[in-house]
Structure 1
Amino acid sequence: MSENRYQLWGGCFEEEASQDLRHLNDSLAVDSRLFREDIHGSRAWAQELNKSNHLSDDHYNAIIEGLNKVEIDIERDLNAHGCLLDKEEDIHSVVERRLQEYAGDAALHLHTARSRNDQSATDTKLWMLSSLKNMKKELLQLISVVTSRAEDEINVIAPGYTHLQRAQPIRWSHFMLSYAWLLKDDVSRLNEQARRLSTCPLGSGALAGCALPIDRERLAHSLGFNDITPNSMYAVGSRDYIVEFLNWAALCSVHLSRLAEDLIIYSTQEFGFVQLSDKFSTGSSLMPQKRNPDGLELVRGAAGMLLGDSFSFSCTLKGLPSTYNKDLQVDKEITFRSYDRLMHCVKVMNGTIRTMTVNQDKAIGLLDSSMLATDLAHALVRRGVPFRKAHHIVGSVLKRAAALGVDLQHMPHKEYIAICPEFGSQEELEKVFSWESSVEQYKSAGGTSRDAVGNQLQLLQKWLQDEHC
């Protein structure tokens, strides 16, 4: 063991690891973040050793008192980046070395029958269980903001698009809620992930299990897990929970990216019915007039990084032999990075939507009568014309209007009747050209009518209430 740093291994080694290997191997800069989880797991492990009569009361008390002091010391010594400057290779070594300063030789008993393999996996899972709750809280807040705006702006009618071409009028609320439902699915997947995550690896040893008669169920419950991992080799070698989180984060970021793209487009001068607040916009160093949606663009860009992290870690796992391999050490770095990046994106999106303004007059001003072509076809269907025939008839109407240089609303009634008498009277035809009537005809569940949107709001508000309970 080096005189300069505390190591958990090395009894049969005659030479120190090279500096080049240490640069690649040492993980303290990353796993300092797990110090609370490492100490929490160590307290539980010491308690289980004590209850199974493998740790005396005196040693147990010394370890618990020492760990409490170590936790206070580490909180004090973390630098501005949340890292420790100790010389040890990882957080496990730091905690044990600092513990020995307070607990003396009692600290040497703490690692009895424990491996860094099951210790590290346990620490990571504990961190994830806590952090996913925080992520869920932020996502629920974002959904709440989106839902609240949808309720307040239910009377705003705006163009809906397919292929980025004007398609049909919709309520702006209907558009906003389409993303609320996507984010709700993300929360549901997060809940499912947390249930699978809540299995405790501690007590699995390096790969073969624990040789001491400890009660793993009791240990797991003391740490807040729902269950134990059923196989020790699986416990230390599987990182499926990391893959699942990274895949989830990538999908969630895709949803945020698509919302960001829509809002970026709608905030351009060409569309202009959304204006972003100063808090979530930036300017140009050259052009004084510029208001750039940099926050949304960064959210959009982050999705590519999160997709890359998800794919890269799966590539790391692809060819590994069973149980623990040091390749798996990258799991924490990539998990922390993805978590932080996504959390920032959710918060930026939350603030952007909460503070943006929607110009109702500009939104409705972007509508044109050609977007009611489907409504004309529906009017014919209600008079008994088969839809496929009605579709072609309205196509002929569009062609005739273009030839006359007018829009659908201002084409003379006689032109409609000449093409198809089933268009009815001029009064009946004029009723079609109403944005409010257009959106109100879509009353089926999930539609854009006021009642259908109101039902979506009620469902989401009830779900939000249940999730907050």
Structure 2
Amino acid sequence: MGLWGGRFINESNKLFKEFNRSLSFDYILAEEDVISSVAWSKILMKSKIITEKEQITIESALFELLKEIKENNQKILKSKCEDIHSWIEEKLIQKIGILGKKLHTGRSRNDQITTDLKLWCRKKIHLLLENIIELQKTFILSAESNHNIIMPGYTHLQRAQPITFSYWCLAYVEMFRRDFSRLKDVLKRLNVSPLGSAALSGTAWKINREELALSMGFDSATNNALDTVSDRDYVVELLSSASISMMHLSRFSEDIIFFNSGEADFIELSDTITSGSSLMPQKKNPDALELIRAKCGRVHGSLISILVILKSLPLSYNKDMQEDKEGLFDSIKTWNDCLCMAILVLKNMQIKNESCRKAAEEGYSNATEIADYLVKKGIAFREAHNISGQLVLRAISEKKSLNELKLSVFQMYSNLIQNDIYKNITLESCLEKRMSKGGVAPSQVYEEIIKAKKRLNIF
């Protein structure tokens, strides 16, 4: 008989039982359910609902059960229980008899479920924060060790202006820094305890919910039980943060896939994170990165799913909310796995200096410098832009880089161009001029690397 069986005369239909069960996926909340149950037993004792001796017996049995779970949590799946909460309660009753039935006094599965889920999310957020920091560190160290490599920057997948590999790395440091900040914000709003809200209107027992919250590491207790048991904003926020970060990981993957292609040939990926072809012996495929790119869609799907589930739910708890977990559990694991894989890719990647530089030189990425040069000579920018464009066409027709054009050719388009044009359009000059905050000038990049190393405690 289920936890709610007293109201019912007939047994549940077998098909309905299976349809209604969540044990197959919420079993991973076993540790969190034990933690919240121990905290609840202590507050019951302080409220004189159970004795100190009874509390000690309950707590000892719960920790004994937790030890068994840690040794083999797969055994939970053999049970026919409805969910992890009923499984733990059943096992507790088997261990200590009728005393085990006292534990649920004043508590509903409604507040129990969301408490356990918040505890699980909090634990996973701390792990994710660590790995986001580790990924930022890996980008910074890669930027530092490859600071002199010049490569083309792109817009519309066309070579645009020269940048450095270090500068490219710092762009992703900024993305993942925002991901870190978002996740910290999620943690701040999530870390409020639901326990003691009961079914939807609070508990009739004299429970100190603030004390209970602090005992589980929460900052405080929630303010409204009706909202509390139906609140899954934290799931939406966490999946939103995951979706944004996975989008960043997907963009990183796409960049590296392109850089690794024969057409770009900027990098060499390690054998340890690539695969070959069953037919073509020459192939070395960036499978790890392609999978990150694909898994991004999977995480985005989970975010859309929870939004659709919640969009029309009346207050308060509805069984629809059982569908909040599978997508969340899968997405958090996927996100964490992808962070770890990105770290592995970066740590074992080799940058091809000559190929990067050649691409920057051949892509006319210094054309803007000609326009800026002419502006300094007194020509209006739009006219200077037009002259520079004509020079690019001339260089293309002669199959030369802009640096290879003769001075006489430059002067055919403007007699203001002098021999100093050549030092103004070198790749190094293009970089050094961009000294504005956030610019690509090597001195600026180096300064940002130092700041990031201090922020991330890299010594």
Give me the TM-score of the superposition, normalised by structure 2. Answer: 0.97
Partner of 1:380: 374
User: Which residue identity lines up with residue 391 of structure 1 in the other structure?
Assistant: H
Partner of 2:274: 281
* Distance apart, 1:127 and its partner CA: 0.6
Contact 2:118 2:191 (8 Å CA) reproduced: yes
Partner of 1:416: 410
Partner of 1:4: none
Partner of 1:12: 7
Tell me which of 315, 319, 323 is aligned to 1:322.
Answer: 315
* Distance apart, 1:137 and its partner CA: 0.6
Contact 2:403 2:426 (8 Å CA) reproduced: no
Contact 1:33 1:83 (8 Å CA) reproduced: no
Alignment of 1:101-140 (within 5 A): 101-140=94-133
Alignment of 1:351-430 (within 5 A): 351-368=344-361, 370-404=364-398, 406-424=400-418, 426=419, 428-430=420-422
Greater displacement, 300-309 / 64-73: 64-73
* Distance apart, 1:58 and its partner CA: 2.3
Tell me which of 201, 220, 227 is aligned to 1:208.
Answer: 201
User: Which residue identity lines up with residue 8 of structure 1 in the other structure?
Assistant: L
Partner of 1:290: 283
Asked if residue 455 in structure 1 is aligned to residue 447 in structure 2, the reply is yes
* Distance apart, 1:217 and its partner CA: 0.3
Partner of 1:158: 151
Once the two structures are superposed, residues 356-409 of structure 1 have per-residue CA deviations (whole angstroms, 9 ceiling, x without a partner) of 110111111212352211011111122232222211221232234445554422
Aligned partners of 1:162 and 1:86: how far apart in 2? 56
Contact 1:372 1:432 (8 Å CA) reproduced: no
Aligned partners of 1:435 and 1:83: how far apart in 2? 63
Aligned partners of 1:287 and 1:405: how far apart in 2? 34
Asked if residue 145 in structure 1 is aligned to residue 145 in structure 2, the reply is no
Q: Secondary structure at the match of 1:368?
A: helix
Contact 1:201 1:228 (8 Å CA) reproduced: yes
Contact 1:168 1:372 (8 Å CA) reproduced: yes
User: Which residue identity lines up with residue 74 of structure 1 in the other structure?
Assistant: I
Contact 2:21 2:83 (8 Å CA) reproduced: yes
- Structure 2 gaps, min length 5: none
Once the two structures are superposed, residues 240-287 of structure 1 have per-residue CA deviations (whole angstroms, 9 ceiling, x without a partner) of 110111111111100000000000001011111111101110111111
Contact 1:30 1:83 (8 Å CA) reproduced: no
* Distance apart, 1:455 and its partner CA: 1.8
Provide the identity percentage. Answer: 37
Question: Which runs of structure 1 show a deviation greater than 3 angstroms over 4 or more consecutive aligned residues?
Answer: 399-407
- Structure 1 gaps, min length 5: 2-6
Partner of 1:58: 53
Asked if residue 30 in structure 1 is aligned to residue 22 in structure 2, the reply is no
User: Which residue identity lines up with residue 241 of structure 1 in the other structure?
Assistant: Y
User: Which residue identity lines up with residue 86 of structure 2 in the other structure?
Assistant: S
Contact 1:250 1:310 (8 Å CA) reproduced: yes
User: Which residue identity lines up with residue 447 of structure 1 in the other structure?
Assistant: G
Tell me which of 35, 43, 68 is aligned to 1:40.
Answer: 35
User: Which residue identity lines up with residue 429 of structure 2 in the other structure?
Assistant: S
* Distance apart, 1:37 and its partner CA: 0.6
Number of aligned positions between the proteins: 458
Once the two structures are superposed, residues 196-226 of structure 1 have per-residue CA deviations (whole angstroms, 9 ceiling, x without a partner) of 0000000000001010111000000000000
Q: Secondary structure at the match of 1:111?
A: coil
Aligned partners of 1:255 and 1:137: how far apart in 2? 17
Q: Secondary structure at the match of 2:430?
A: helix
Q: Secondary structure at the match of 2:437?
A: coil
Once the two structures are superposed, residues 158-182 of structure 1 have per-residue CA deviations (whole angstroms, 9 ceiling, x without a partner) of 1111100011111111011101100
Give me the TM-score of the superposition, normalised by structure 1. Answer: 0.95
User: Which residue identity lines up with residue 451 of structure 2 in the other structure?
Assistant: L
User: Which residue identity lines up with residue 282 of structure 1 in the other structure?
Assistant: S
Asked if residue 21 in structure 1 is aligned to residue 21 in structure 2, the reply is no
User: Which residue identity lines up with residue 437 of structure 1 in the other structure?
Assistant: S
Aligned partners of 1:276 and 1:72: how far apart in 2? 43
User: Which residue identity lines up with residue 355 of structure 2 in the other structure?
Assistant: K
User: Which residue identity lines up with residue 316 of structure 1 in the other structure?
Assistant: I
* Distance apart, 1:420 and its partner CA: 1.2
Tell me which of 421, 427, 431 is aligned to 1:435.
Answer: 427
Contact 2:149 2:353 (8 Å CA) reproduced: yes
What is the CA RMSD across the aligned residues, in angstroms?
Answer: 1.6
Asked if residue 240 in structure 1 is aligned to residue 233 in structure 2, the reply is yes
Aligned partners of 2:448 and 2:340: how far apart in 1? 24
